[in-house]
């Protein structure tokens, strides 16, 4: 491993020590890194995890021929450099154990604790999802999905370290695989590292992707950079000294370094700005790190006094940070003999964040910060990003999704073809079906999540591969409205119900019209098509159904329509000896769309009833003795005779007022009697007690009909301490 780990680090001079933990007291890179910030007890545990992982992976080797354990140890090293906590290092060492060996996550939990096993599980979950051929939009969604699935930011950090090492050892794979993995790294993982501000990891991922995607260009730039390094060194040293002296003169304490651009950023500049290599190479870049934020502007002033700034080239990322929270002052200067110079000026704190981003909180955590505090700080950091980026729509959108990993409100799922869909959290299979297409939603009958059959109301989870089973004749179910949460699903189901509603209205309208015709002793079937046609054109409607629907909805009076039709018939001599018995409108109970049972008197089958045509609500049914009837203006044309269907198809609400002794357990007693009488309680409301012994309780219960109600009341009377039971026909609560 040691030989391949640094093959592409042209800039690093020293070969890293062997990454393995000491077999017998020998120092390793990982232990050296850990000793800096972890307690011996934690290091001991990490050592056990190393042994455990090594044993579990026993017999497996990497493509390079090295033992497998080299890989998790390298991943752990990357994370140890960021000073991540012991559970993260443990998860790094164990990250492939559950996936690649017979060890279960239960065993991990038993040996290393719940936190570690959860991190490992999170990682295995990420490994399972895969994106086939990514378009740019798909890539963005996939990045969001990864972030959303890792509900602990440490999972993403391990994943990035894992990817980094895979990239560092990509050489052993076939060129096709190299290209595919490099492309994925460039599309998915490098942007995540960048957005999380993990600059060091981001740069290396980009450089390595570039190396495998464009090997020739990479090599050419590398060679050119190497060739010019000697000349540059002298110039860099000179300018560094000049800057240092000026800052001392101005009494600003700062650290000044010359920096070399990485291969990919040189290439990016060449291709994006159309510059030649030497144009870019002639620019000298420096970094000035001062103690406090206020010193940054002083240092900028000092540098501008030393070298003239290029007009319009000053960027204040301190006042307006970049999307990933990066803060710095940038300025371009005319150096000695006109040498172009770029400087970055930042405080120590800003520098930490610029290098480690979201991990900076671990890297520089105070001694006794615990996990919750760290999560909180991380969250604060993410929140601050959101605030500072509120006017940049692109990054805002990204960060809003980043927020998901702490407060999830969106879910990312796959279609059978591998496309990613974003749904609000709590979405169901029906929401998904409508998100795919309204036809799929309207005809869905069943759903499969990851090959497993689930109910249509089942909630979707991150990364689920969802398949919807449709049937050509299937129809939306009104009950879906109880669980769908997306606007699209809701509006399509409602639209369907509305079309049903108009069917129902026209059925009702037909009944109402027949009733009016009956009063005129006309048989509806004797009305000719030509009469209807005339009426349709008179009203400016499309068809007969529309007229009937308008009657049903109370928009037209049945009597008027009947009279008009009779007028046509008389005109054509069609009225002779037709006097057939016609039905009154029957109320079955399921007509809820166009016929409503009044909530003032709650009519139930067996009650004498009257229908009242309401312009907006269609037909409202009241009891004969309802007190509300008196309130309506006496308008006989708006009243209709209605009667109950002999076989109603549901339970009906009725309002009972029960006066009972105010004692413990009374409500429970009443409730159980109601249940035993095959009735349901729809609503209960206890009236404010005036301190007396008795209290009024209002129940809305469901019964089949008057007989059922009488039986229920009889049973209730058997309860001791009930003083009165009334059916209420005017109260509305
Ligand atoms: Mn791995």
Distance 20 CA to ligand 1 centre (A): 16
Adjacent-strand bridge partners of 448: 453, 467
CA triplet 245, 248, 249: central angle to 5 degrees? 85
Lowest mean pLDDT among 25-29, 103-107, 318-322, 430-434: 25-29
Distance 100 CA to ligand 1 centre (A): 10
pLDDT of residue 75: 95
**52 and 190 share a domain?**
yes
Classify residue 45: in a domain, yes or no.
Answer: yes
Distance 214 CA to ligand 1 centre (A): 25
Distance 499 CA to ligand 1 centre (A): 55
Distance 353 CA to ligand 1 centre (A): 26
Distance 362 CA to ligand 1 centre (A): 22
pLDDT of residue 151: 64
Q: Which of 311, 330, 365 is the last residue of a domain?
A: 365
Rg (CA), the chain: 39
Strand runs (DSSP E) across 507-598, as ranges? 585-587, 595-597
Q: Give the DSSP per-residue string, 521-534.
A: T--GGGS-HHHHHH
**112 and 181 share a domain?**
yes
Q: Where residue 342 sits, what CATH number does that domain have?
A: 3.30.460.10
Of 100, 127, 316, 410, the catalytic one is 100
Classify residue 563: in a domain, yes or no.
Answer: yes
pLDDT of residue 323: 66
pLDDT of residue 372: 53
Distance 74 CA to ligand 1 centre (A): 10
pLDDT of residue 578: 42
Within a 10 A sphere around the Cβ of 398, how many other Cβ atoms? Answer: 22
Q: Which helix (H) or strand (E) holds 624?
A: none
Classify residue 512: in a domain, yes or no.
Answer: yes
Lowest mean pLDDT among 166-175, 511-520, 573-582: 573-582
Question: Average pLDDT, stretch 596-611?
Answer: 84
In tens, the pLDDT along 190-248 reads 988 887 778 889 999 999 999 999 999 999 988 888 888 777 888 889 999 999 999 99
How many domains are contained in the chain?
5
Distance 127 CA to ligand 1 centre (A): 9
Distance 63 CA to ligand 1 centre (A): 13
pLDDT at 385 over 60: no
Distance 72 CA to ligand 1 centre (A): 6
What range defines the domain where residue 348 resides? 222-365
pLDDT at 281 over 70: yes
Distance 398 CA to ligand 1 centre (A): 26
Q: Residue-wise over 409-422: b if at least 16 C-beta within 10 A, else e?
A: ebbbbbeeeeebbe
390 in helix, strand or coil?
A: coil
Which of 66, 28, 71, 60 lies closest to 47 in space, CA to CA?
Answer: 28
**182 and 95 share a domain?**
yes
**616 and 700 share a domain?**
no
**73 and 183 share a domain?**
yes
**136 and 152 share a domain?**
yes
**501 and 616 share a domain?**
no
Q: Residue-wise over 443-464: b if at least 16 C-beta within 10 A, else e?
A: bbeebbbeeeebebebbbebbb
Question: Average pLDDT, stretch 350-363?
Answer: 74
In tens, the pLDDT along 254-272 reads 999 988 788 898 888 888 8
pLDDT of residue 62: 85
pLDDT of residue 601: 85
CA distances from 231 to 126, 235, 282, 708 (A): 47, 7, 11, 102
Which of 372, 408, 384 lies closest to 197 in space, CA to CA?
Answer: 384
In tens, the pLDDT along 545-559 reads 888 888 877 677 777
Q: Rounded to whole angstroms, how far apart are CA atoms 383 and 388?
A: 9
Q: Rounded to whole angstroms, how far apart are CA atoms 724 and 657?
A: 8
Q: Rounded to whole angstroms, how far apart are CA atoms 171 and 8?
A: 10
Q: Where residue 675 sits, what CATH number does that domain have?
A: 3.30.70.260
As a whole number of angstroms, the longest Cα–Cα distance in the chain is 120
Q: Rounded to whole angstroms, how far apart are CA atoms 412 and 462?
A: 5
Distance 93 CA to ligand 1 centre (A): 9
Classify residue 416: in a domain, yes or no.
Answer: no
**200 and 109 share a domain?**
yes
Looking at every residue in the chain, the average pLDDT score rounds to: 80
In tens, the pLDDT along 688-711 reads 666 667 888 888 899 999 999 999
The count of C-alpha atoms lying within 13 angstroms of the C-alpha of 630, restricted to the half-sphere facing its C-beta, is: 5
pLDDT of residue 580: 34
Distance 129 CA to ligand 1 centre (A): 14
Q: Rounded to whole angstroms, how far apart are CA atoms 285 and 282?
A: 10
Q: Which of 321, 344, 365 is the last residue of a domain?
A: 365
**549 and 605 share a domain?**
no
pLDDT of residue 378: 60
Which of 127, 121, 65, 120 lies closest to 89 in space, CA to CA?
Answer: 120
Q: Where residue 44 sits, what CATH number does that domain have?
A: 1.10.3210.10
Classify residue 30: in a domain, yes or no.
Answer: no
Classify residue 26: in a domain, yes or no.
Answer: no
Classify residue 714: in a domain, yes or no.
Answer: yes
Q: Rounded to whole angstroms, how far apart are CA atoms 539 and 632?
A: 28
Q: Rounded to whole angstroms, how far apart are CA atoms 595 and 242?
A: 90
Whether residue 99 lies in the annotated active site: yes
Classify residue 16: in a domain, yes or no.
Answer: no
β-pairing, 452-454 vs 444-449, is: antiparallel
**172 and 247 share a domain?**
no
Distance 21 CA to ligand 1 centre (A): 18
Distance 58 CA to ligand 1 centre (A): 15
**203 and 66 share a domain?**
yes
Q: Which of 178, 213, 248 is the last residue of a domain?
A: 213
Distance 33 CA to ligand 1 centre (A): 20
**621 and 673 share a domain?**
no
pLDDT at 305 over 80: yes
Whether residue 100 lies in the annotated active site: yes
Q: What is the DSSP letter of 188?
A: I
Of 11, 26, 55, 99, the catalytic one is 99
């Amino acid at each position: 491993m040691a030989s391949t780990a640094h093959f592409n680090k042209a800039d690093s001079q020293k070969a890293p020590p062997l990454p393995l933990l000491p077999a017998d007291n020998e120092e390793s890179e990982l232990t050296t890194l850990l000793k800096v910030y972890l307690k011996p007890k934690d290091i001991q545990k990490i050592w056990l995890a190393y042994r455990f992982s090594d044993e579990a992976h026993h017999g497996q080797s990497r493509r390079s021929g090295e033992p497998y354990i080299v890989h998790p140890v390298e991943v752990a090293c990357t994370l140890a450099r960021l000073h991540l906590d012991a559970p993260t290092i443990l998860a790094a060492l164990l990250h492939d154990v559950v996936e690649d060996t017979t060890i279960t996550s239960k065993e991990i939990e038993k040996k290393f604790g719940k936190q570690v096993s959860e991190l490992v599980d999170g990682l295995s979950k990420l490994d399972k999802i895969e994106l086939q051929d990514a378009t740019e939009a798909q890539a963005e969604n996939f990045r969001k999905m990864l972030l959303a699935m890792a509900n602990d930011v440490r999972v993403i950090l391990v994943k990035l370290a894992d990817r980094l090492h895979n990239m560092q050892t990509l050489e052993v794979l076939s060129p096709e695989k190299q290209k595919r993995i490099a492309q994925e790294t460039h599309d998915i993982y490098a942007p995540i590292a960048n957005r999380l501000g993990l600059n060091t990891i981001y740069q290396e991922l980009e450089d390595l992707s570039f190396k495998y995607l464009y090997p020739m260009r990479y090599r050419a730039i590398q060679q050119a950079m190497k060739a010019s390094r000697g000349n540059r060194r002298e110039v860099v040293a000179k300018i560094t000294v000049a800057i240092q002296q000026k800052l001392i003169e101005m009494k600003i304490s700062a650290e000044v370094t010359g920096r070399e651009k990485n291969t990919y950023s040189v290439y990016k500049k060449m291709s994006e700005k159309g510059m030649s290599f030497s144009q870019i190479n002639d620019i000298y870049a420096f970094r000035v790190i001062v103690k406090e934020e206020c010193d940054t502007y002083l240092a900028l002033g000092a540098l501008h006094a030393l070298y003239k700034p290029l007009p319009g080239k000053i960027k204040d990322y301190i006042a307006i940070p970049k999307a990933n929270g990066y803060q710095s002052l940038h300025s371009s200067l005319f150096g000695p003999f006109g040498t172009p110079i770029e400087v970055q000026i930042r405080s120590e704190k800003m520098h930490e964040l610029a290098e480690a981003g979201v991990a900076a909180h671990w890297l520089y955590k105070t001694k006794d910060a615990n996990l919750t505090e760290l999560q909180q700080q991380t969250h604060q950091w993410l929140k601050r990003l959101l605030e500072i980026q509120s006017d940049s729509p692109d990054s805002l959108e990204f960060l809003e999704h980043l927020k998901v990993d702490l407060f999830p409100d969106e879910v990312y799922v796959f279609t059978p073809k591998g496309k990613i869909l974003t749904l609000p959290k709590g979405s169901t299979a029906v929401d998904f079906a409508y998100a795919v297409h309204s036809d799929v939603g309207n005809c869905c009958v069943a759903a499969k999540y990851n090959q497993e059959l689930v109910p249509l109301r089942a909630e979707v989870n991150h990364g689920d591969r969802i398949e919807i089973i449709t049937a050509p004749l299937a129809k939306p179910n009104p009950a879906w409205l109880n669980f769908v949460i997306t606007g699209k699903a809701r509006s399509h189901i409602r639209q369907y119900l509305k079309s049903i509603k108009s069917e129902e209205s026209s059925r009702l309208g037909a009944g109402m019209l027949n009733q009016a015709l009956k009063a005129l002793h006309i048989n509806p079937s004797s009305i000719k098509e030509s009469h209807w046609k005339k009426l349709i054109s008179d009203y400016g409607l499309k068809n007969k159904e529309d007229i009937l629907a308008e009657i049903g909805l109370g928009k037209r009076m049945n009597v008027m329509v009947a009279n008009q039709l009779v007028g046509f018939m008389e005109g054509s001599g069609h009225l002779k000896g037709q006097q057939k018995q016609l039905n009154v409108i029957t109320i079955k109970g399921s007509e809820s769309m166009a016929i409503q049972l009044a909530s003032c008197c709650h009519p139930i089958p067996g009650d004498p009833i009257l229908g009242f045509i309401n312009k907006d609500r269609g037909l409202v049914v009241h009891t004969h003795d309802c007190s509300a009837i008196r309130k309506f203006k006496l308008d006989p044309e708006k009243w209709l005779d209605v009667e109950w269907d002999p076989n109603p198809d549901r339970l009906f609400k009725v309002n009972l007022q029960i006066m009972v002794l105010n004692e413990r357990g009374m409500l429970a007693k009443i409730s159980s009697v109601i249940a035993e009488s095959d009735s349901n309680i729809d609503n209960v409301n206890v009236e404010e007690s005036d301190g007396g012994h008795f209290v009024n309780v209002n129940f809305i219960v469901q019964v089949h009909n008057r007989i059922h109600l009488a039986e229920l009341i009889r049973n209730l009377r058997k309860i001791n301490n009930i003083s009165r039971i009334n059916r209420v026909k005017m109260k509305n609560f």
